[in-house]
Structure 1
Amino acid sequence: MPMRDSGRAGTLPATSDELSRLLTAVRRGRVLTVTGRFREPRSLLVREIAERLSSNFYDGTAVVTPGRPFGLRELTAALGCVPGMPFLPYGTTDAVSWLAERDMLLVLDGAEHLEPDALAWLRRLLTAAPGLRILAAGRSPLAFPGERVHRL
């Protein structure tokens, strides 16, 4: 039975046990993608997970909602606009080296819109940033090494 979302309209598209497993998967793994046909349930679930886990990361959570087209330039610009996220001090030319020092959860809500250059950059970022976790919501998996997939 789906879990009632406390304090918000709607129902989380996961049971309490599923949500517990997903929270653990994000904390222990590097990449978790929630897939499914409909955007709203995916989005609701990843945003709930992000809210519950934000305090587990020193640098918190950055939620990015990719639109069309969404390449590397748009991704790094979106990261620079995330409320509360200190991003790229003046004079920093390489976002990967700066993000490599962060302990954070990056949420990609609408990952199916990411273009190949953005996906390649995220793969490079995962290699360089041991404290980074990615939680994505999309129609299909990101196809990253070690990725865990939860299908709705």
Structure 2
Amino acid sequence: MRETGLSATLPATSAEMSRLLTAVRRGRVLTVAGAFREPRSLLVREIARRIASNFYDGVAVVAMNPQHGGYGVRELTAELGSVPGMPAPARGTANTASWLAERDMLLVLDGAEQLGPDALAWLRNLLTVAPGLRILAAGRSPLAFEQERIHQL
């Protein structure tokens, strides 16, 4: 049986949801991978909603547009700077990394298959300098990060 959300059925049972919430709390990177965008997106946004209070600086959801054609570091940091409800990080990729290094937050990357190799390398480096940062990604395939946990839909 799948869990029923406000407007749709979540693609996870209650037991799966519990395991996913624990994986986000205890790990650094969790990727929800699967062929269809809507179920992945629905699941990561529900996880983020349920776990937001666990992070002092909250949750930043970056929704990547599939028509955009790819997100490099500059595009990713620009999207991060325009997340509603989040204080804007300083301009520039080095300044954004420094800003994130001081945060206790969950970064949700919805549409992670849009990330280019430079953005993935920047995120890998970011995990080494930002101890309070957790990443929850939704994409067609895993991010291939060393400490990544994967939930396949």
TM-score in terms of structure 2 length: 0.94
Residue pair 1:92, 1:98 contacting (<8 A) in 2 also: no
Counterpart amino acid of 1:76?
A: T
Gaps of 5+ in 1: none
Counterparts of residues 13-52 of structure 1 (less than 5 Å): 13-52=11-50
Deviation at 1:102, TM superposition (A): 0.3
Q: How many residues align?
A: 150
Q: Deviations over 1:44-75 (max 9, x none)?
A: 00000000011110110000012322111110
Secondary structure of 1:12's aligned partner: coil
Partner of 2:51: 53
Gaps of 5+ in 2: none
Does residue 108 in structure 1 map to residue 109 in structure 2? yes
Deviation at 1:87, TM superposition (A): 2.2
Partner of 1:12: 10
Distance 2:14 2:147 in 1: 25
Deviation at 1:88, TM superposition (A): 2.2
Residue pair 1:2, 1:13 contacting (<8 A) in 2 also: yes
Deviation at 1:89, TM superposition (A): 4.2
Deviation at 1:90, TM superposition (A): 7.1
Deviation at 1:119, TM superposition (A): 0.5
Counterpart amino acid of 1:30?
A: R
Identity of aligned residues (%): 73
Deviation >3 Å, runs of 4+:
89-93
Does residue 135 in structure 1 map to residue 133 in structure 2? no
Deviation at 1:93, TM superposition (A): 5.4
